[in-house]
Amino acid sequence: MDLSNINPALLVAALMVASVPILLAAIGEMVVEKAGVLNLGVEGMMIMGAVCGFAVALTTGSPVIGFVGAAVGGMVLSLVFALLTQVFLTNQVATGLALTLFGLGLSALIGQGYQGLKPPPTVKLDLGPLGDIPFLGQAIFNHDWIVYFSLAITVAVWAFLKFSRAGLVLRAVGENHDAAHALGYKVALIRTAAIAFGGACAGMGGAYISLVRVPQWVDGMTAGAGWIALAIVVFGSWRPGYVLLGAYLFGGVTVLQLNLQVAGLAIPVEYLSMSPYVITIAVLVAISATRRGTSLAAPGSLGRIFHASR
């Protein structure tokens, strides 16, 4: 075993990169759930984002436009979900699951012509003197823009939900949609907007895999990241800070266990492989439990169908 081969700065850098797709998808889904909608189609929206982002980036030659395309792709798919659940009042769980299956199939179809191609590279930002700081420069200030974007959007969501009036309305809709409706808020409209935001975030998360992390298009390449994001929202008790922690913990332990394997740590590989899941859940449950019960954190109307006639 030779742990001295593990460079902590590179480890932190790899951790931040590995966490981006899950963080983006989870923060989007958190807003959706805060509005009282349970969208289990995160995986489907991510994979749609991955393929749309890839196709757009390849066509335009610009990874930035690619990410915009990914957001649009994820949003369009999420609006299908919004139409079904908010207008036709279908069951959210079933519709969400169907959305994932549909997204996987549709993305494979769209991606037919894009297999084996290389997207334009997403360059790392040059942050000038910040990049020269020892350790921190290499670990934190040596990334592409989307890494910082994912952090910024987390902070923005936190501020929006905590301090803005619109955020308060959104939370009200999620806590008690009948009361919100009685106050004159348009429940279905607000929820549709939240769903669209969640779709856009998931789409960009997926595109990060196809445009930066791998970077190629292959069928089914998100490989379950959407489900991890969903779990992190729940175990992070619908708090942006905990969601960020959960995503970084999951990405961090994933990267760490691979590095420990390379370094030859004398822990059986089976345990290392399961460690990201176990540790993330254990830590999030532990910190949530020390506060009020987790059940209190769930939005009151989560997953319930709303109709104005009641």
Could you say which of 70, 157, 207, 221 contacts another protein (CB under 8 A)? 221
Q: Which stretch binds another protein (CB under 8 A): 1-9, 68-76, 84-92, 240-248?
A: 1-9
CA angle 20, 169, 238 (to 5 degrees): 35
Could you say which of 87, 152, 273, 291 contacts another protein (CB under 8 A)? 273
Q: Which stretch binds another protein (CB under 8 A): 7-15, 75-83, 175-183, 297-305?
A: 7-15
Q: Which two tokens stand for residue 52?
A: 């749309």
Of residues 101, 143, 111, 97, the one with CA closest to residue 207: 111
From CA 268, how far away is CA 274, in angstroms rounded?
A: 11
Q: Are 199 and 74 in contact (CB under 8 A)?
A: yes
* Cβ distance to another protein smaller for residue 83 or 214: 214
Could you say which of 207, 255, 283, 284 contacts another protein (CB under 8 A)? 255
Q: How far is the CB of 189 from another protein (least distance, A)?
A: 31
Could you say which of 130, 263, 282, 286 contacts another protein (CB under 8 A)? 263
Interactions with another protein, residue window 10-49 (CB under 8 A): 10-11, 14, 18, 21
From CA 280, how far away is CA 276, in angstroms rounded?
A: 6
Q: Are 163 and 33 in contact (CB under 8 A)?
A: no
Helix (H) or strand (E) holding 230: helix 225-235
Q: How many residues bind another protein (CB under 8 A)?
A: 42
Q: Which stretch binds another protein (CB under 8 A): 79-87, 126-134, 171-179, 261-269?
A: 261-269
Could you say which of 159, 264, 282, 292 contacts another protein (CB under 8 A)? 264
The SS3 assignment for 144 reads strand
- Residue 123 is given by DSSP the state P
Q: How far is the CB of 85 from another protein (least distance, A)?
A: 19
Could you say which of 87, 89, 101, 152 contacts another protein (CB under 8 A)? 101
- Residue 115 is given by DSSP the state T
From CA 129, how far away is CA 126, in angstroms rounded?
A: 9
When asked if residue 269 is in the footprint of another protein (CB under 8 A), the reply is yes
Of residues 161, 304, 307, 285, the one with CA closest to residue 232: 285
Applying CB under 8 A, the residues found at the interface with another protein are 5-7, 10-11, 14, 18, 21, 101, 104-105, 108, 111-112, 115-116, 118, 209, 213-216, 218-223, 225, 254-255, 258-259, 261-264, 266, 268-270, 273
